[in-house]
Amino acid sequence: MEQDYGTKEREFLNLPNAWRADNIKDNQCNVICAFNFFSIDELLDIGPEPNSIYIHSASEPYNEEMEIDSQRLQSWLELFKLSLFQSHCSGHAFGDDLFDVARQINAKTIFPVHTECPQSYHIVANDLVIVEEGKRYDLDKRK
Average pLDDT over residues 115-136: 88
Least confident of 4-8, 30-34, 99-103: 4-8
Q: How many CB atoms within 10 Å of residue 80?
A: 18
- What is residue 142's predicted lDDT score, i.e. its pLDDT? 63
Q: How far apart are CA 129 and CA 135, in angstroms?
A: 12
Average pLDDT over residues 1-29: 84
Mean residue pLDDT across the chain = 85
Burial of 46 (0-12, 13-18, 19+ CB in 10 A): buried
Average pLDDT over residues 88-113: 82
Dump pLDDT digits (tens) for 66-82: 899 889 999 999 999 99
- Whether residue 89 has pLDDT greater than 80: no
SS (H, E, C) 108-120: CEECCCCCCCHHH
